[in-house]
Amino acid sequence: MTETRDSLMAAARKAAGGAYAPYSNFHVGAALLLSDGTVVTGANVENASYGLSLCAETVAVSGILAKGERPKLEAVAVTGGAPGAPGEGPQVTPCGRCRQVLNEIAQLGGTDPVVWCDGAEGVLETRLSELLPHAFGPANLG
Ligand code: THU
């Protein structure tokens, strides 16, 4: 598990290097581990119309679902910080919208992924169900 965490976080940190975040200067990377061992990454993509900015987790999830894939999401690693220095500040937990976006793909595949959040004080390990209890998802639409 520690090995998985470290390699997934390394992928997230690498992904943060691709962030387009000229407005916040806060570069975020996310890495999603699927049950077949595939790792899909994303970085935040901001916009001159600030509110249209996309978070790293959302970019990663969109990349999977837009290909028609419906995999089992096993784990998520998130990091962020100043350019070139991911994980060197306070722990980065997924924002509320990203929790909901992650929940969509998790519920589709029937998993409750472990979520690792990078930070200078260490990596926080949690579960999506802990970050978003009583989540509303596809199943709630009946
Ligand atoms: N951000 C993410 O990419 N993911 C999160 O879960 C938290 C916030 C981005 C959005 C914005 O581009 C920057 O971090 C600062 O909020």
pLDDT of residue 142: 87
13-63 pLDDT, tens digit each: 999 999 999 999 999 999 999 999 999 999 999 999 999 999 999 999 999
Output the CA 68–ligand 1 centroid distance in Å: 25
Assign 3-class secondary structure to 42-73: EECECCCCHHHCECHHHHHHHHHHCCCCCCCE
Say if ligand 1 is within 6 A of residue 16 CB. Answer: no
Given the candidates 3.40.50.300, 1.25.40.10, 3.40.140.10, 3.50.50.60, the CATH classification of the domain at 1-72+80-86+108-119 is: 3.40.140.10
At 1, the pLDDT band (50, 70, 90 cuts) reads confident
57 in Cβ contact with 15 (< 8 Å): no
The verdict on pTM exceeding 0.75 is yes
- Give the C-alpha distances (Å, rounded to integers) separating 82 from 43, 106, 119, 134: 13, 29, 12, 33
Say if ligand 1 is within 6 A of residue 44 CB. Answer: yes
The answer to whether residue 130 is catalytic is no
Output the CA 53–ligand 1 centroid distance in Å: 8
60-99 pLDDT, tens digit each: 999 999 999 999 999 999 999 999 999 999 999 999 999 9
